[in-house]
Amino acid sequence: MARYVFITGGVVSSLGKGIASASLGALLQARGYKVRLRKLDPYLNVDPGTMSPYQHGECFVTDDGAETDLDLGHYERFTGRPANRQDNITSGRIYSDIINRERKGDYLGGTVQVIPHVTDAIKDFVLSGNEDTDFVLVEIGGTVGDIEGLPFFEAIRQLGNELSPGGAVYIHLTLMPYIPSAGELKTKPTQHSVKELRSIGIQPDLLLVRADRPIPEAERKKLSLFCNVPPSAVIQALDVASIYDVPAAYHAEGFDAEVLSAFGIDNAPEPDLSRWHEISRRTKNPEGEVTIAVVGKYTELKDAYKSLIEALVHGGIANKVKVNIDWIGSETFEKADPAPFLEHVHGILVPGGFGMRGTEGMIAAAGYARKRKIPYFGICFGMQMAVIEATRNLAGVPNAGSTEFGPCEEPVVGLLTEWVKGNELLKRQAGGNMGGTMRLGAYRAYLAPGSRIAEIYGKTEIEERHRHRYEVNVAYRERLEAKGLRFAGISPDGVLPETVEMPDHPWFIGVQYHPELKSRPFQPHPLFSSFIAAAMEQTRLV
């Protein structure tokens, strides 16, 4: 039967609850257990798909087409287990289901209330589908004390009673700030946070305490005393150089052993962490460096490109090099010549994006990479912008554009209104609902034998994750192929261009999907490995 670990956060946000949860998952997995990670998000959006990346960071897309919290990306990268629609829920989704049922009359005249109806729905979600799992790790978004988090805390409190004895363990992640004038790490914020948690009925079993320097023994004892946990269950979580150092670092502090002992398990096999040590070794001792310019719209907020950054790191791990990222807001190139910004870089990547702002700058970056023969990787929007650039400047169609930016005379990128998923025909209309209506999730594509991209993948049939409303218009294919932009990847029905490439360029590839979502530290995505290898070639020329 599955055991449950509930992970809550206190004091401040951004302490790395997602990475801590993912690391615990990796450690338990390394001991031979089957783990599943799930995230409960207290906000009222039904999913993060409609939120700006500035608000919420990246929206992580699963194979089954759910738009989810970016922590699910960490879970996948750390455990290798593909997440699905049932691994993330929000208050919005719970309330919307309950209200729909209420309208249908499902509650038979009863009053519908937060307790028990909302809390029951949360508990049903947490408990469902865990049959072949040893440990279910449930991360609660936000920080203890948030008003909207209360039903979630209440639901996990109830579960502590309802699960068989020893069936649930509570971990609270907090911060000990260092106060320079006192020369001390302070315990008080953690004390208050645990007090808040206990006031709603949850006594944590473990404290995972972030600190920028080692926690002195006296302070550890103080936390133990005031927060009512054994001293061994106060785990210090010090800053480390890379997120991939976290599992081994937390293991060294006794984190996973302490979690197991809270469940009464004292004879678990030791974890095999050799692959984590190998990743750390490679990231600490690179044999070279490359610089990649990422030219995008949300470059001030790195969380907006979480999976992309990690996929680039993985490409570096595969090639044993360090990848430096030069973040460039694409609007820069609408006013300035790209050359001074791009002359020193070894590769240019234009990532996914939405809306018109900054697009002429992305088009300029694609043109610069094409003409200067610098490796270019266009992802989703980045492919669309590269195709617009080629249509304008190679095929001689100056008005080429995307209907995403308004009516367009030469819509080389247009709204996707009909497409096939499996045996189903999906339809969309302009002006319809925005939430959950993009082309989402895993789709198959065929790669032309002999194309560069087929050679990189080592196969001609792939499945990658999508998240877009617009697509490259296949009607322009012949004109563009005649000018050297090959439509190498195409949907099984032959109507949706999936990848483009320039055979007479060292490395120029655009993909309509998001390969970064499937890259893992132990299995770097072939496109990222190949792109970084091409950038390495470039270092010999720059």
User: Which residues of the chain form contacts with ligand GLN (CB under 6 A)?
Assistant: 352-354, 380-381, 404, 467-470
* Secondary structure tally for the chain: helices H, strands E: 19, 25
Distance CA 387, CA 439 (A): 19
Distance CA 319, CA 313 (A): 10
Q: Which one, of 51, 56, 26, 49, lies nearest residue 305 by Cα?
A: 56
Q: Pick between residue 117 and residue 468 the one whose CB is nearest to ligand GLN.
A: 468
Chain centre distance of CA 1: 29
Cβ neighbours, 10 Å, residue 214: 11
Strand 60-61 versus strand 67-68 pairing type: antiparallel
Distance CA 418, CA 409 (A): 21
Q: Count the residues in the chain.
A: 542
- What φ, ψ does residue 64 adopt, rounded to 5°? -85, 15
- The reply to whether 217 belongs to the active site is no
Measured from the CB of residue 331, what is the shortest distance to ligand GLN in angstroms?
A: 16
Q: Which of 310, 360, 464, 516 is catalytic?
A: 516
Q: Pick between residue 107 and residue 354 the one whose CB is nearest to ligand GLN.
A: 354
Q: Which two tokens stand for residue 163?
A: 């699960």
Q: Pick between residue 404 and residue 501 the one whose CB is nearest to ligand GLN.
A: 404
Q: Pick between residue 91 and residue 359 the one whose CB is nearest to ligand GLN.
A: 359
Measured from the CB of residue 71, what is the shortest distance to ligand GLN in angstroms?
A: 19
Q: Which two tokens stand for residue 309?
A: 């950054």
Measured from the CB of residue 97, what is the shortest distance to ligand GLN in angstroms?
A: 27
Measured from the CB of residue 488, what is the shortest distance to ligand GLN in angstroms?
A: 19
Q: Pick between residue 392 and residue 467 the one whose CB is nearest to ligand GLN.
A: 467
Q: Pick between residue 381 and residue 419 the one whose CB is nearest to ligand GLN.
A: 381
Q: Which of 76, 380, 464, 525 is catalytic?
A: 380
Q: Which of 314, 466, 505, 514 is catalytic?
A: 514
Q: Pick between residue 94 and residue 387 the one whose CB is nearest to ligand GLN.
A: 387
Q: Pick between residue 467 and residue 525 the one whose CB is nearest to ligand GLN.
A: 467
Amino acid (1-letter code) at residue 5? V
CB 357 within 8 A of CB 331: yes
Distance CA 155, CA 164 (A): 16
Measured from the CB of residue 380, what is the shortest distance to ligand GLN in angstroms?
A: 3
Measured from the CB of residue 511, what is the shortest distance to ligand GLN in angstroms?
A: 10
Strand 184-185 versus strand 178-179 pairing type: antiparallel
Measured from the CB of residue 67, what is the shortest distance to ligand GLN in angstroms?
A: 11
Amino acid (1-letter code) at residue 71? D
Burial zone of 357 (CB within 10 Å; 0-12 exposed, 13-18 middle, 19+ buried): middle
Prior bond to 116 cis, omega within 30?
yes
Distance CA 387, CA 413 (A): 8
State how far the alpha carbon of 429 is from the alpha carbons of 406, 416, 434, 466, 495, in Å. Answer: 15, 9, 10, 18, 18
Burial zone of 319 (CB within 10 Å; 0-12 exposed, 13-18 middle, 19+ buried): buried
Measured from the CB of residue 303, what is the shortest distance to ligand GLN in angstroms?
A: 16
Q: Which one, of 368, 173, 148, lies nearest residue 255 by Cα?
A: 173
Q: Pick between residue 97 and residue 334 the one whose CB is nearest to ligand GLN.
A: 334
Q: Quote the radius of gyration of the chain (alpha carbons, Å).
A: 25
CB 305 within 8 A of CB 298: yes
Q: What residues have CB less than 8 Å from 359, skipping those under 6 apart?
A: 330, 353, 385, 402, 405
- The reply to whether 331 belongs to the active site is no
Cross-strand pairs, 77: none
Distance CA 10, CA 152 (A): 15
Measured from the CB of residue 277, what is the shortest distance to ligand GLN in angstroms?
A: 35
- The reply to whether 227 belongs to the active site is no
Nearest residue to ligand GLN, by Cβ distance, number only: 352
Amino acid (1-letter code) at residue 304? A
Measured from the CB of residue 17, what is the shortest distance to ligand GLN in angstroms?
A: 26
Q: Pick between residue 257 and residue 350 the one whose CB is nearest to ligand GLN.
A: 350
Count CA atoms within 13 Å of residue 358 on its CB side: 19
Residues with a catalytic annotation lie at 380, 514, 516
